[in-house]
Structure 1
Amino acid sequence: MLSSQSYAQEAGEKIRELLLLRDENALRDLDAFRESWNGMPRDGYMADGGRYRRRRHATLSASRGGTDLRVEAHQPHYQGLDYNGLNGGVARHYAPFEDAVLHGETMSSMLALGCDVFGRLAPYSAWHIEAHQFRIEVTGEESGLPTPEGVHRDGVTFVLMALVGRSNASGGESTVYDLDKRPVEKFTLTEPLDLALVNDERVFHGVSPVERLDPSRTAERDVLVITYRHRP
């Protein structure tokens, strides 16, 4: 499906089965992996002044046709203004992943899954990989915007987006658009490990605001985003 229409969505239960089929220990640290979204620092580069996003970042690489991942020295995240008109144009220095999470079974299995899937579409490509932990939290002071830059592309080759968890949250509907920014598919990631894949060179995407179901409690939406870009 990804090869024919440039996007795909899979239910978390199917992803869980696939990962465990590949490695029976693939999700051994899943609880700790999900717990690591708690206590993340706020994103200090929100040009809209928003305080609704928390974030960590890591940079990795993978050789051509394989899943042998290498963690690179921690470095800033950068997008040009052509891809991110809100927060782009500056080097953004985010806190790194916790080592136990980055090197843990769940994270390693998700990274390898992306290498496997995208490697079948681009078997001659080595990858520059960036991983992002995102938490959108809504306290009532402002809306939570998973994609505050709006409908966009990330300036990479492929993107893997996995829901880690959501609590007291409504909204957060994902929409995929063609290159003329006409919507072609809508879906909502609701269960842990629900997965969306996009060919970033062929489609745009965006996510609707997150709101609270119970206005007396904070809403949270936790997502892992991994981008894969052709590396010479």
Structure 2
Amino acid sequence: MSVCQKWGISTLSWNELVFNELVHVEQENETETNISAELITRLCMGQKLSMAKKGTSRKQPTKKVATRGRSTTSSTTVKTSVRKKRTLKPSAIVDQEPSLLSKSEQQQILSYLLKGGPPVAACEKLDLSTTSFLRTFTEEESFRDDYYAVMSLLSQNVLMAFYRQAMEGNVSAQTNWLKAMPPPGWDGVPAIEHVPLFTFDETLDELTDDELLNLARAMEIEVPTATAKSGT
């Protein structure tokens, strides 16, 4: 029994039904220009295609395009939101009062300064806060005195190196040394007070007997003793 006899329709009506169904499917799916042989066979066998089967059997490019757009937009939105959160996140608390350095930390700072390093480098080396160093320097008098003592020692090192250059004949070093450390009476510097000098006899009169004996031995002078006087 043919399909037309089974459904009670004419061959012309069946052909028109098949044609309309094919046109309807082709209009809904514009991207698919080739109708599969399976679809034609199902139509010829008289199987009515429902919209649900059509939706599952064919691809839906519109949904795919929409999915791509949503995925791209969503990924961009997520990245933007994460970037904003990172920007707005505070990096540190700036209004917190710095703590004072402990005695051990103070000694570590001073030891580093004695090697010629600046305070900022010492704080970075020891992983200490510079604001804590400044607060300790301001409030701790003992630490401040130790700091100045260290700076004085370092200045003496520079002064001695400068003096050695002057003694080795460096004219520029000699000139700068006399300007920085002028001797008494040099270039307006007040001279030392005059100390009255004693004559040799006056000096001897001020010495005790033991001092006179020591002076005579140092000068290799034979001093007569009481035994020698009695023997003569």
TM-score by length of 1: 0.16
Ranked by relative contact order (alpha carbons within 8 Å, sequence separation 6 or more), the top structure is: 1
Higher helix share: 2
TM-score by length of 2: 0.16
Structure having the higher Rg: 2
Higher strand share: 1
